[in-house]
Amino acid sequence: MTDALSEAALDELEARIDAWAARELSDNPVVAAVERGPRAEGRRWFVRVHGEEKDVSTVWFHLRQRTLHVETYLMPAPEENAGQLYEHLLRRNRKLHGLTFAIGEEDAIFLVGEVPATSVTDDELDRLLGSSYAAVEQCFRPALRIGFASRFGG
């Protein structure tokens, strides 16, 4: 485990993430919006992206004392074929780098990851955003077809 960063180090890293997010919003056509969470709730960013398979996703970045946590919502809890869906996502986890599918609140499916705060660079932020985007694009429709099969005629 890495040591907790000082407030000054966290402030510097926060400024780096702010600058990266502003560049993404300006230069990356997939990025639709960047918002900050209330400071009282921590150092959080919400990066909304446009996709093809899933129209809009939000990738949440949360800077903590030791880590940068990243998370995005994939879909609600499955209405059917839950075991098959979880097996499908567990198998997909093997192909992901630094991210994993997980069951979250209300049994919804999320994509989550975490990196040491000391490793956060523009390249690492790009990788986290890009990997989250790619995983959602690749997995969203197949996961829906399994977890909500009767809605798709299956």
pLDDT per residue as tens digits for the range 106-126: 999 999 999 999 999 999 999
Question: Using CA atoms, how far apart are residues 68 and 78, in angstroms rounded to an integer?
Answer: 29
The helix (run of H) or strand (run of E) holding residue 5 is none
Pull the structure tokens for residue 152.
């798709």
For residue 110, CA distances in Å to 10, 76, 150 come to 26, 9, 22
Q: What residue spans define the domains of the chain?
A: 7-152
Looking at residue 97, its pLDDT comes to 87
Using left for φ > 0, alpha for ψ between -120 and 50, and beta otherwise, residue 130 falls in alpha
Give 3-19 pLDDT, tens digit per residue.
Answer: 899 999 999 999 999 99
Give 26-72 pLDDT, tens digit per residue.
Answer: 999 999 999 998 988 899 999 999 999 999 999 999 999 999 999 99
Tokens 């969470």 sit at which residue? Answer: 37
Looking at residue 80, its pLDDT comes to 96
Looking at residue 154, its pLDDT comes to 58
Task: Give the class (CATH, top level) of 7-152.
Answer: alpha beta
Pull the structure tokens for residue 66.
């030791």
Q: Residue 68 burial (CB < 10 Å; 0-12/13-18/19+)?
A: buried
Question: Using CA atoms, how far apart are residues 146 and 85, in angstroms rounded to an integer?
Answer: 6
Cross-strand bridge partners of residue 20: none
